[in-house]
Every structure is written in structure tokens, then in C-alpha cells.
Amino acid sequence: MTLLKHVTPYYWRGEWVDEESAGRRLDDIGLILPGLREPLVVDDVLAACRHLASQLDDTTGSTYAGLRDELTDPSTTALPAKDADALLAGLAKALDPRSLAAQLTAELGSAAPGVPVPAPFANEAVEVWQPVGTLVHISPANVATAGVLSAVEGLLAGNTNIVKTSGTDGLFTQRALALLADADPTGRIRDRLVVLRFSSSNTDWLRRLCRSADAVAVWGSEEAVAGIAQHAPSGCRVVAWGPKISFAYLDRTASAEPAGLRGLARDILRNAQRTCTSPQVLYVDTTDHDRLFGVADALATALADEAPGLPVIAPTAAEQAEVTNVVEVARLEEHLGLTRTRSASDGRWHVLADTRPGLCASPLFGTIWVKPLPREDIVRVLHPMRRYLQTVGLAATGDGDVALSGEFFRAGALRITPLGQMLDTYAGEPHDGHLALQRYSRRVSMPAAFHEGVSA
């Protein structure tokens, strides 16, 4: 662990460098790719992931402790210990080679995407997946493992990866990716990893970072995406993982039966609602305000029942203020006959029933809107938010869900799940309507006769 003494915010292909040196090397990003001799082998990436996952499984080891310290460092990422442990467990699971192989198969057709396959509608041609090239990742400040996972996807597709972490982050991404590089005896992963921490307000660095990018994967707000897009060179592929909103739907044939609402209550309370798959609104298939308020009351009961079983995640002062702002206005709107509110005595959850159907976001931390939306109006009401829609947690009976799924997909939604499973994902599941590994790859073709010349 002597290496860790030298950890800096700037990891450059196996070296820890200082800010001045990183600043100089920024202009050399475009020289990395042409200097590489051999392609990355996907099995080497899977083996390195297996090794890092096993280090993460050993929660008493010094590697685990070092990574955990970065996540809980009060001066930077400052996660509560419980959150840090949950995040590391989630990372270990995500790095399991079996689920990564499943993702490769689902997204690129096989666990060996570098092997050419005959083109389906041509007799004499083969096709193969190739890396896009130099892939810049702009990771968000809010999900500590996003930078690591994005870089792993970039490596699976064979790319040279340059990861920018948020100026307020600790050095978790640097340390985790350095461990991944160290786990590869061929050194090829190390040669394809650069991690730099700097603030996005440093536009000079941002511009030089993006100058040689063949693709930029950017996670974050619309402003973050727009800010990066202006630095991407012409012809560069911008892969934007932007903000999304999810909600639940209670069909008129589905009674507000306690089991379904308790599942929804868990979806609301998990991870303090901060996941993009967390429900922010419960839509009820009705125009009857009494039924709407009745469902809201039943949901409040379900939240009260489920809350003790799930960990409390305290909001920051600013986040708490946002919750109070929204709840306070909703309470005052009760006097206008527009709303009805129910809150936990300790403020752990708030149910805001609102007779206006328009989709609006929740201030999170256990705050859920309950709004009317007759099924006939689904596409019309949700249309203005089309590009932001993500998961719909659906409670319907009989063959109702088939038709309703079609309506929600028509409106722009990307995932349908049962209530209680909105936050669950499966290996190889599309992300926000895309297959990430395809976005980080190029599909190339050639005559079958040249097949021998392709390096796998």
C-alpha cells in the first residue's frame, strides 16, 4: 500500500502526477492512442474486474478501508459510512465478470465482441465491434461510483479512457481505477486509463481534455451536458446521460391494495429517492378527487409501515430547504382546494396529493406527489416531458398492463416495472434507452476474405 502515499488527483497511465505535470500532459491525450501497440483483450478486462471485485468483497482488508476512507472523507465526498458500504457492495456486484459478460452478450452480441461475425444480409461480408477510440468520461459529483463504472464500460469496448471527476470529489475514482490497472499483468489497462480531478469551471482544461476525444460520455444536468458539448470537436460523438424522471401508475382496475402500495413505499424510501429510477409521482387512473385523496391516504399508511425498515438518509440543509419549500406551498394550496398533504411527524416522508395532473418533480427525500391521470390522457399529459421520462412502476390487473405499457412507451417512457421493483436492474439492461457498450463502439465491416487480417 506504499503507492497510496503518493495518490494525487491526477492519475496518468500508472503514474501519480502533480497538477503542473497534469496540466502539461493534457495536450498529449491525443498521442496516447497512436502510441499503443496491441489492442485490449476483453478477457483481461474481465479478469481485472474479478480481482477488484474480490478486493471489495474483503471488507476487512486494507484496500477496502482505503476506498471507504475516500468515500467518507468529510472534506470531499462525505458519504455516511452506511452509504459508502452500500456503494462499495454495489460496485463489487457490478464488477462481477458474470454480469459483465452478460452485458457484453446483450449489448454487443457475444462475450467476445472482437470476433468477426458474418453480416446477416451479405454473403461475403463480416462485421465486428471496434472501440470508438479516445473516450472522455465526465463523471457526476453525485454518484461516487459512476466514473469507475463508466470507465469499465469504456474498457470493455476496448477504448482509451480519460475520466474527469468533479472538483468536489475525493480520490475514490483515481484509487479504484489504479487498483483495476494494477490487477492487469499485461499493463494494457493501465496504458488506457487517465483520471483527472478538476472543476468544470476550469474551461481551459475542459477544452484541452476534449480536444482529442472521439467520444465524450457526460453524466449530469442539462447545463453540464451543454457545457461539455461546446468543447467536443466536430465529429465527436457526445453520449449524454442526462437527468430523468420516474413515476408510478395505478390502473383503475388495480385496487389500492396494501401490498402494491407497500412496494411503492419501499421504492420511494430506498436511497432517499435520489436514484433516477425512484418514483417522484404516483399517477392514479381517475378523475375523481375523492378516490385520489383515498389513494394518497393509503400510500401515507404504507409509508408509515415501511419507513422503520429502511435506513434514514439525512438531507443536507439545502436539500431539506427544498423539501420544506415544496411541502409548505402544497400545504397552503390546500386552502385553494388544490391539494391535500400528509406528512410523517418526523418529516421522513410527505404525500402531496394534487388535483392538477401535470408532471412535476419531487424535492425527493421521501416526498411523493399523487396526481390524477386517466389512461386516455397519458400521452397528451406526459408529452411535454417526453425526453425526460424514464421508469414507470405499473400496477394493473389482467391484460391491462399490455395496453398501458404501449401508452407509456408512446409517451416516451423507457422502462416498465412492477411496483416495489422500480430501482432494480438486470445485467445488460438498456440504460436510458441506449446500449452503453454500443455507444462506446464502432460497428465495422469488411469482405469475409479479409477476415484473417483482423486482430481479434
Partner 1 sequence: MTTAISADADLARRLPTLAKYFRPITVPAPLELPHVQELCDRDDPFRPGEDTDSLFVAAMREINAWHVARSPLYRAAWEKAGSPVPRRTRELDALPYLHVNLFKRHALGSVPDADVALRLTSSGTGGERTEIGFDAWSIGSAQRMDAWTLKALGLIDPDRPANYLVCGYEPDPRLTVGAAHGLNELCDFAPVASAVHALRNTGGGHEFNPMGSVDALLDYAARDEPVRVVGFPAFVYAVVERMRQMGVPPLRFPEGSLVLTGGGWKGHADRAITKPAFREAVRSGLGIPDDRIRDCYGSVEHCLPYIECADHHFHVPVWSRVVVRDVRTLEPLPYGNPGYLQFISPYITALPAHSILMADLGTLHPPGACEVDTPWFDVHGRAGVRRNRNCAVAAAELLGKR
Alpha carbon distance 210, 173 (integer Å): 19
Instruction: Give the residue with the Cβ less far from partner 1, 233 or 384.
Output: 384
Are the C-beta atoms of residues 358 and 373 closer than 8 Å to each other? Answer: no
- Span of 73-81, 169-177, 256-264, 360-368 interacting with partner 1 by CB under 8 A: 360-368
Residue 156: CB minimum distance to partner 1, A: 21
Instruction: Give the residue with the Cβ less far from partner 1, 116 or 220.
Output: 220
Instruction: Give the residue with the Cβ less far from partner 1, 238 or 385.
Output: 385
Of these, 54, 99, 253, 275, which contacts partner 1 (CB under 8 A)?
A: 275
Q: Give, in order, the Cα–Cα distances in Å from 359 to each of 190, 246, 334, 381.
A: 46, 10, 19, 8
Residue 147: CB minimum distance to partner 1, A: 14
Instruction: Give the residue with the Cβ less far from partner 1, 11 or 349.
Output: 349
Of these, 4, 33, 143, 238, which contacts partner 1 (CB under 8 A)?
A: 143
Residue 158: CB minimum distance to partner 1, A: 26
| 326 touching partner 1, by CB under 8 A | yes
Alpha carbon distance 374, 288 (integer Å): 10
How big is the CA angle at 63 (ends 61 and 69), to the nearest 5 degrees?
A: 105
Of these, 320, 355, 425, 438, which contacts partner 1 (CB under 8 A)?
A: 320
| 154 touching partner 1, by CB under 8 A | no
Q: Which long-range contacts (CB under 8 A, 24 or more apart) does 353-357 make?
A: 353/292, 353/293, 353/295, 353/296, 354/330, 355/289, 355/292, 357/283, 357/381
Of these, 15, 44, 322, 377, which contacts partner 1 (CB under 8 A)?
A: 322
Residue 83: CB minimum distance to partner 1, A: 12
* CA 178, 181, 182, 183 torsion-angle sign: positive
- Span of 33-41, 104-112, 253-261, 319-327 interacting with partner 1 by CB under 8 A: 319-327
What is the x/- site pattern for partner 1, positions 384-413, by CB under 8 A?
xx--x-------------------------
Q: How far is CA 78 from the centre of its chain?
A: 20
Pairing of strands 117-118, 125-131: antiparallel
Q: Give, in order, the Cα–Cα distances in Å from 412 to each of 245, 273, 280, 387, 432.
A: 11, 21, 16, 7, 11
| 364 touching partner 1, by CB under 8 A | yes
User: At which residue does the C-alpha cell 396529493 appear?
Assistant: 353
- Span of 16-24, 112-120, 218-226, 414-422 interacting with partner 1 by CB under 8 A: 218-226
| 444 touching partner 1, by CB under 8 A | no
| 109 touching partner 1, by CB under 8 A | no
| 358 touching partner 1, by CB under 8 A | yes
- Span of 34-42, 229-237, 267-275, 418-426 interacting with partner 1 by CB under 8 A: 267-275
- Determine the 3-state secondary structure of 397 from DSSP: coil
Instruction: Quote the cell numbers at residue 172.
Output: 475514490
Instruction: Give the residue with the Cβ less far from partner 1, 294 or 347.
Output: 347
| 106 touching partner 1, by CB under 8 A | no
Residue 190: CB minimum distance to partner 1, A: 30
Q: Nearest to residue 131, comparing CAs of 109, 157, 110?
A: 157
Residue 322: CB minimum distance to partner 1, A: 3
| 142 touching partner 1, by CB under 8 A | yes
Alpha carbon distance 135, 163 (integer Å): 8
DSSP 321-373: HHHHHHHHHHHHHGGGTSEEEEE-TTSS-EEEEES--S------SSEEEEEE-
| 324 touching partner 1, by CB under 8 A | yes
Instruction: Give the residue with the Cβ less far from partner 1, 324 or 421.
Output: 324
DSSP-assigned letter for residue 130? E
Of these, 276, 284, 378, 423, which contacts partner 1 (CB under 8 A)?
A: 276
| 274 touching partner 1, by CB under 8 A | yes
Of these, 222, 257, 305, 424, which contacts partner 1 (CB under 8 A)?
A: 222
| 240 touching partner 1, by CB under 8 A | no
Of these, 280, 286, 343, 441, which contacts partner 1 (CB under 8 A)?
A: 280
First to last CA, the chain: 35
Q: How far is CA 123 from the centre of its chain?
A: 40
- Determine the 3-state secondary structure of 73 from DSSP: coil
Instruction: Quote the cell numbers at residue 334.
Output: 390546500
| 431 touching partner 1, by CB under 8 A | no
Instruction: Give the residue with the Cβ less far from partner 1, 304 or 360.
Output: 360
Q: Nearest to residue 359, comparing CAs of 289, 415, 283, 292?
A: 283
The contact set with partner 1 (CB under 8 A) reads 140-143, 219, 221-223, 241, 243-246, 273-276, 278, 280, 317-322, 324-326, 328-329, 332-333, 335-336, 347, 358-364, 384-385, 388
